Amino acid sequence: DARYIRLMSQHCGTIHHQVLLDAADLAKALPDAVRARDLPGMADIDSSLYLFCREIKRNHTVALSGECADEIFGGYPWFRRDDLVAADTFPWSRATHLRALWLAPWLRERICPEEYAAQRCRESLAEVPHLPGETGRESRLREIAYLNLTWSMVPLLNRKDRMSRAQGLEVRVPFADHRLVEYMWNVPWEMKACDGREKGLLRRALAGILPGAVLHRRKNPYPKSHQPAYAETVRRWVLRILDDPHSPLVPLIDAETVRRMAGNGEAGSGPAGHRMPGNPAFNEPWFGQLMAGPQFFAYLIEIDTWLREYRVEIIV
């Protein structure tokens, strides 16, 4: 992102400060991110924002952020890719069956995560207010827009609120203004995707205002850590949890499977870096374009932290 940030800073005449976050600090802040959320969250996707907001707060109290633009203007790949548009579940979370493999078999059988996700998706689709005569792809894209507004956008806004407020920073989200959301709801998809681009309508509206390179830049998701040192840190942390006879996490997961994956050292080594060849359950992103590779180990760390510190008792 650095090149485009510099372009915007020069274009707007702003003072830009670059903040570099150390891999060790990202891992160390995972428990802090849990405390800020009061729940397990999005691993270093959370902890990096938590640390970033701390740096911003040193000089500012209010900031602006772009959350919700992708939801209302159709920026995500599941608005365009045929396989994602046709998905029979939440299109950003198609790996439920792979994630379920990490649960302890007894727990997987009791809670049936795939069936639960499918049921909630069906319930949400039944709520969608279609326009009379709307059919085919336009109807389906309205359904996806509704799922985005009522599901995927919610944890992202909550993440923004929790991580920033924990640092005393107020982050405002102009794209979430209810008047804009309501206005965009009935804009036909062919207008939202004008010029054959994701968020085409928004790009056209900002033509002549933004630098050309920024205006036409392809969407780039929030940066997750691919740093080998981070992957190695969370891998070793998970191994320590698995060796702890008092860990509240271990009874809930398939510990031997997790141990094999964490014990082979592949999470942070080799030319593939964060990938584990032959293990789609580890490599497949499980929240949109986020949460793959070492983020999965970090998520286990967050669950263990939450269960311990909040003294959670799970009754199934």
pLDDT tens digits for 201-218? 999 999 999 999 999 999
Q: 74-88, 114-128, 254-268: lowest mean pLDDT where? A: 254-268
Q: Is the pTM of this model over 0.85?
A: yes
The reported pLDDT for the residue numbered 285 is 64
Please determine, for residue 101, whether its predicted confidence score (pLDDT) is greater than 50.
yes
The reported pLDDT for the residue numbered 131 is 93
Name the packing angle between helices 228-242 and 294-309 (round to 10°): 40
What is the full DSSP assignment across 124-165?
A: HHTT--PPTT--HHHHHHHHHHHHIIIIIHHHHHHHHHHHHH
Residues 75, 184 contacting (CB under 8 angstroms): no
Residue with tokens 């499980």: 286
Identity of the residue numbered 51: L
Please determine, for residue 91, whether its predicted confidence score (pLDDT) is greater than 70.
yes
Residues 164, 55 contacting (CB under 8 angstroms): no
- Bigger pLDDT: 164 vs 94: 164
The reported pLDDT for the residue numbered 222 is 82
Residues 62, 84 contacting (CB under 8 angstroms): no
- Bigger pLDDT: 290 vs 266: 290
Token readout for 164 is: 């920033």
Mean pLDDT of 24-50: 97
Identify the CA nearest to 242 among candidates 130, 113, 104, 136.
104
What's the Cα-to-Cα distance from 258 to each of 71, 145, 249, 255, rounded to whole Å? 34, 35, 12, 5
The Cα diameter of the chain in Å comes to 61
Superfamily of domain 2-71+160-215 in CATH is HUPs (3.40.50.620)
Q: 75-89, 106-120, 274-288: lowest mean pLDDT where? A: 274-288
What's the Cα-to-Cα distance from 64 to each of 160, 176, 219, rounded to whole Å? 11, 11, 18
Question: What is the rounded CA–CA span in Å between residue 301 and residue 28?
Answer: 11
For 245-282, how does the pLDDT look when each residue is reduced to its tens digit (9 = 90+)? 999 999 999 999 899 888 765 444 332 334 444 455 55
- Domain residue spans of the chain: 2-71+160-215, 87-148, 228-309
